[in-house]
């Protein structure tokens, strides 16, 4: 039987207790307000070192999700430059706490701007970053000008990244809700992504409130949304990567989702 590493999103100040309450061996955290440009702060007794010690002793892996405002693909200097700075700060903080990776959204350009230039900005960002822990590019649900929505966009962005120094430190985070909402075929999704990236480092296991192809980034609890339950479980099983549920509700709901997933993965 595979020992699945699964967890939910928790508050880093009480990371170990909250992870255990959910029945998880993994915890995803955000360092501060995800809509803020402020420097990440580790809100844990003893700071990053204290968090690393506590998580290590409890056997809990830690993933950091970067702020939502980050958009390294942007052609706007006032967004792109602060994005790189904040992403570097997040990577540094994640390394201090022994995280297994930092998840970041693919970003977008504005309507009428060249997609290829946004993808090349990803190359430039990776070239300029120090990447002490894996930087995980996450697929997105919507946006005609997104860097990581359709498979061809993911491929173009990934190809651009591969031309950067440090590309080997960039991985991929596959979100099931995002992929479904983007209109991707879940029955071949893992194989399609692996054909592009060669790797899936993390899965965000989320059901979807919206229908396939809706472009709606609205997560649902597992088995209660629009994704076929067997397709959702099969994606996670085939990806063979650590899993985070980013589903609605608190401890009870996420604990139920983790149990739902374990039952189907072990069955």
Query: Helices (H), strands (E): how many in the chain?
Result: 9, 10
Q: What is the pLDDT of residue 15?
A: 96
Kindly state the percentage of the chain with pLDDT values over 90.
97
In angstroms, the CA 97 to CA 21 distance is 21
Alpha-carbon dihedral 138, 202, 132, 169, rounded to 10 degrees: -70
Assess whether pLDDT exceeds 80 at residue 1. Answer: no
Given pLDDT bands bounded at 50, 70 and 90, which one contains residue 266?
Answer: confident
Question: What pLDDT is recorded for position 267?
Answer: 61
Q: Which two tokens stand for residue 252?
A: 């009870």
- pTM metric for this prediction: 0.97
Which class does domain 6-266 fall in? alpha beta
| DSSP symbol at 119 | H
Express each pLDDT in 197-255 by its tens digit: 999 999 999 999 999 999 999 999 999 999 999 999 999 999 999 999 999 999 999 99
């Amino acid at each position: 039987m595979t020992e699945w590493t699964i967890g939910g999103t928790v508050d880093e100040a009480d990371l170990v207790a909250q992870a255990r309450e959910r029945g998880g061996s993994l915890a995803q955290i955000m360092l501060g307000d995800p809509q803020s440009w402020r420097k990440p702060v580790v809100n844990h007794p003893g700071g990053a070192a204290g968090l690393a010690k506590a998580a290590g002793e409890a056997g809990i892996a830690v993933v950091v999700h970067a702020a939502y405002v980050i958009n390294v693909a942007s052609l706007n200097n006032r967004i792109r430059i602060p994005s790189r700075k904040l992403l570097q700060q997040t990577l540094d903080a994640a390394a201090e706490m022994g995280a297994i990776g930092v998840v970041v959204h693919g970003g977008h350009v504005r309507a009428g701007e060249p997609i290829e230039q946004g993808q090349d900005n990803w190359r430039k960002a990776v070239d300029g970053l120090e990447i002490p822990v894996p930087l995980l590019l996450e697929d997105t649900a919507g946006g005609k000008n997104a860097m990581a929505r359709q498979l061809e966009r993911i491929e173009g962005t990934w190809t651009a990244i591969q031309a950067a120094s440090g590309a080997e430190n960039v991985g991929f985070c596959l979100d099931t809700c995002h992929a479904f909402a983007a209109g991707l075929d879940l029955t071949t999704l893992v194989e399609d992504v692996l054909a592009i990236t060669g790797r899936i480092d993390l899965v965000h296991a989320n059901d979807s409130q919206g229908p396939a192809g809706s472009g709606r980034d609205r997560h649902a609890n597992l088995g209660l949304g629009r994704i076929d339950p067997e397709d959702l479980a099969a994606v996670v099983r085939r990806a063979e990567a650590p899993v985070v549920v980013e589903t609605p509700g608190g401890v009870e709901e996420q604990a139920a989702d983790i149990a739902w997933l374990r039952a189907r993965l072990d069955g």
